[in-house]
Structure 1
Amino acid sequence: MVKYKRIFTIVVDSLGVGALPDSADYGDVGVDTLGHISEQVETFSIPNLQKIGLANLHPLKQVSAVEEPMGYYGYLKEKSLGKDTMTGHWEMMGLHITKPFKTFTETGFPQELLDELSERTGRTIIGNKSSSGTEILEELAEEEIATGHMIVYTSADSVLQICGNEETFGLDELYRCCEIAREITMKDEWKVGRIIARPYVGKKKGEFKRTANRHDYALKPYGKTALDALKIAGYDVISVGKIFDIFDGEGLTESNKSKSSVHGMEQTIDIAKRDFEGLCYTNLVDFDALWGHRRDVQGYAKEIEMFDEKLGELLDVLKDDDLLIITADHGNDPTYIGTDHTREYVPFLAYSPSMTRNGKLETSETFAVIGATIAENFGVKMPEGTIGNSTLEKLL
């Protein structure tokens, strides 16, 4: 028996809620993305998250706990090794990652890797450092256009990114170079989660703009996930945002690209107005990409407030047989040193209009409680080798 006809799982990318016990092993001491944002901003209006129980879970300076939350709330602890997007999402859907994806944030890519990439693409490489996409274009795009050199850079995620001007470098050439990079970085010592083609237009500083022709070359999940199980069983598995890239399309029946986190919520609201049976899985990346990595506390707080406003619109269209789960994939404390993700607990908020109870859940030892709960709801067996126990009986 299906308990809920539709489950909406929204990942507020990087909204951590406090340091994990092993956070110091990752260089993260005393981190708390949500808590520190609340401490440093004067006003913080999140009435819908407050109603569900976020402030009951995690004390906030401006937001009080409510006497009767609308839903259930708890902490999730990451079992896998790492603190990146792919590890977090893959674990949510049942995979235990015991070998972290490679990051080259502090050092840039090894010269041996660059030499092979240069030889096989026929292009001289410039860049090779961690940078934001807009900053690297301001610094090096004019040189790339003038010389035909190739901008290669990374970030705090496990990625190798290549920029190419659509007019002078060409989209086909950019994609060719990225395909070569993907092949090269399948070696264990260089294995990054994603190669990202970053096309742009413009001729001089101040005019460069990235285009919508971005393409990700991701690793496929190391095993079957809850998404595969749902799809095989005939349920809808709809993605919003970069879920498609994170899972390389595996286990999905429909994907929707988002222009922003607000747009991602608008897409989720539109999907909620449709008739389907299964899962809508949404990632809202701006929290991480625009504010966490750039250590912008005010921007991050405003993004949470915009999300909360759209959350109110989503709550208005949820049906009695819908379940909403709100969570995160890692932390990215904008008050912390550096620009890297931070290893933190993530929130687990669950709400349905049909719920008759509410309260705090026990801390889960893994993010995989999400995939296991979704699978049990639809009467689907989790694939062999996955982890996680369902908490569905507590959410009815």
Structure 2
Amino acid sequence: MTRAIVIIMDSVGIGAMPDAAAYGDTGSNTIVHISKAVGGLKIPNLTRMGLANITDIPFIAAIADPAGNYGKMSELSPGKDTTTGHWEISGIVLNEPFPTFPSAFPKEFIKQFELRIGRETLGNEVASGTEIIERLGVEHMRTGKPIVYTSADSVFQIAAHEEIIPLDDLMAICRTAREMLVNELGVSRVIARPFIGDTGHFQRTTNRHDFSVKPMEKTLLDHVIARGQKVFAVGKINDIFAGQGISEYVLTKGNDDGVNKTIDYMKRYEPGMIFTNLVDFDMVYGHRNNVKGYAEALEAFDRRIPEIISALRDDDILIISADHGCDPTTDSTDHSREYVPVLAYGRQLKKGINLGTRESFADLGATIAEYLGIEPLVHGQSFYSSIRI
């Protein structure tokens, strides 16, 4: 009845990787810079698990006897996007990055896309989601034209006011884009970005939906299911894997709801894996360079950790990590190429083991595979032997 509970703090990086300069991310350090900016994060539970033992975090002291095991992980795959990070965690290491479009999408593609959906579009530029909605939202409401934009990541984003283009219609438009964006235009995700409100007060809603490409190889999730165990996905995990390797999923409305639904799954005591993404860190605060909000979100999650630990069975393993960075203290509103923290806790595990700097995010997946007794993954080196009693 062993289970692994994996919680991804979306975008909570812990320092620029050696190749960060190639991505324009020299010096990025999401959690360190946030703590410095607010005069010290109040995260006693993450600290107790060993977070401040991974690296020097301003105003937070490392502790001598962490309750968890701690380290950081490098990303072998090129890129710094959500799909790449989660896929590598689950055992896929990409040789080539997903395509990005720093000059926006080809005009011929946009023309064909407009013909397919029967609407003209606005935008087709590299932009911050909140900024482009404020700038083009009024014209969108007047004309009914969806707003198309991208970022430094491999994404094709479509924003529409829920009262102008109903959600079902927006999702249909996104499915058309997903069908068309293949080969050299094969972005990792098409993202529906619904919003509400009036001029000067537009705000994105939690009704976003990601239309991802399917994994090209079997992932940890597929192997868990093949073993006869369950994979429960919380938040946008189901979207990231295009439903592949998922037994059951639930969507969330914010980080707190994500924690609630993770605990709900934990109460079911079914063997396998619970895989949770807490997206607010990234979507609501990181991309908006909202340092104070990001700090408060980290502190709010920290307050929920005792509940999560209380819901663990004796033979459960809890791993808290991230998928990339998104340093809100920099000028950029994009993801950042960073190491990610890894914290591993279980009542039947050792405590206070320094896992060092792992070669790949896939080490996390390899560890879970060994813990659950399933076949080893192609990529990744398990650290389970270091922490098992």
State the secondary structure of the residue aligned to 2:281. Answer: helix
Displacement of 1:145: 3.1
Displacement of 1:166: 4.2
- 1:63 and 2:60 aligned: yes
Query: Which amino acid in structure 2 is aligned with residue 389 of structure 1?
Result: Q
Query: Which amino acid in structure 1 is aligned with residue 171 of structure 2?
Result: Y
Query: Which residue of structure 2 aligns with residue 239 of structure 1?
Result: 233
Distance change in 2, residues 1:214/1:68 (3 Å):
closer
Contact residue 238 and residue 253 of structure 1 kept, 8 A:
yes
Cα distance in 1, alignment partners of residues 316 and 366 from structure 2: 17
Distance change in 2, residues 1:221/1:358 (3 Å):
same
Q: Counterparts in 2 of 1:64-83, with a 5 A limit?
A: 64-83=61-80
Query: Which residue of structure 1 aligns with residue 278 of structure 2?
Result: 284
- 1:299 and 2:293 aligned: yes
Displacement of 1:275: 1.6
Contact residue 122 and residue 145 of structure 2 kept, 8 A:
yes
Cα distance in 1, alignment partners of residues 71 and 178 from structure 2: 38
Structure 2 runs not aligned, ≥5 long: none
Query: Which residue of structure 2 aligns with residue 163 of structure 1?
Result: 159
Q: What is the aligned counterpart of 2:191 among 196, 207, 216?
A: 196
> What whole-Å deviation, never above 9, does each CA across 1:267-288 have from its counterpart, x for those lacking one?
1122222221111111111111
Q: What is the aligned counterpart of 1:348 among 330, 342, 347?
A: 342
Contact residue 225 and residue 382 of structure 1 kept, 8 A:
no
Q: What is the aligned counterpart of 1:97 among 94, 103, 127?
A: 94
Q: What is the aligned counterpart of 1:326 among 310, 320, 326?
A: 320
Cα distance in 1, alignment partners of residues 203 and 45 from structure 2: 35
Query: Which amino acid in structure 1 is aligned with residue 302 of structure 2?
Result: D
- 1:185 and 2:174 aligned: no
Cα distance in 2, alignment partners of residues 16 and 172 from structure 1: 35
> What whole-Å deviation, never above 9, does each CA across 1:65-116 have from its counterpart, x for those lacking one?
1111111111111111111110010001110111111233x43222222122
Distance change in 2, residues 1:341/1:97 (3 Å):
same
- 1:392 and 2:389 aligned: no
Contact residue 211 and residue 240 of structure 2 kept, 8 A:
no
Displacement of 1:212: 5.2
Query: Which amino acid in structure 2 is aligned with residue 278 of structure 1?
Result: G
Task: Using structure 2 for the length normalisation, give the TM-score.
Answer: 0.94
- 1:20 and 2:14 aligned: no
Distance change in 2, residues 1:170/1:302 (3 Å):
closer
Contact residue 66 and residue 351 of structure 2 kept, 8 A:
no
Cα distance in 1, alignment partners of residues 298 and 204 from structure 2: 25
> What whole-Å deviation, never above 9, does each CA across 1:222-249 have from its counterpart, x for those lacking one?
1110100001111110111111111011
Query: Which residue of structure 2 aligns with residue 220 of structure 1?
Result: 214
Q: What is the aligned counterpart of 1:119 among 107, 115, 119?
A: 115
Task: Using structure 1 for the length normalisation, give the TM-score.
Answer: 0.92
Q: Counterparts in 2 of 1:1-12, with a 5 A limit?
A: 5-12=2-9
Cα distance in 2, alignment partners of residues 44 and 285 from structure 1: 19
Displacement of 1:134: 4.2
Displacement of 1:257: 0.6
Q: Quote the sequence identity (%).
A: 47
Displacement of 1:191: 1.6
Contact residue 369 and residue 376 of structure 2 kept, 8 A:
yes
Displacement of 1:314: 0.9
Query: Which amino acid in structure 2 is aligned with residue 376 of structure 1?
Result: E
Displacement of 1:179: 2.2
Distance change in 2, residues 1:60/1:166 (3 Å):
closer
Cα distance in 2, alignment partners of residues 64 and 17 from structure 1: 16
Cα distance in 1, alignment partners of residues 108 and 306 from structure 2: 51
Contact residue 44 and residue 63 of structure 1 kept, 8 A:
yes
State the secondary structure of the residue aligned to 2:67. Answer: coil
Distance change in 2, residues 1:375/1:367 (3 Å):
same
Cα distance in 1, alignment partners of residues 355 and 3 from structure 2: 22
Displacement of 1:215: 3.3
Compare 348-357 and 238-247 and name the one that shifted more: 348-357
Compare 23-32 and 231-240 and name the one that shifted more: 23-32
Compare 288-297 and 299-308 and name the one that shifted more: 288-297
Query: Which amino acid in structure 1 is aligned with residue 384 of structure 2?
Result: L
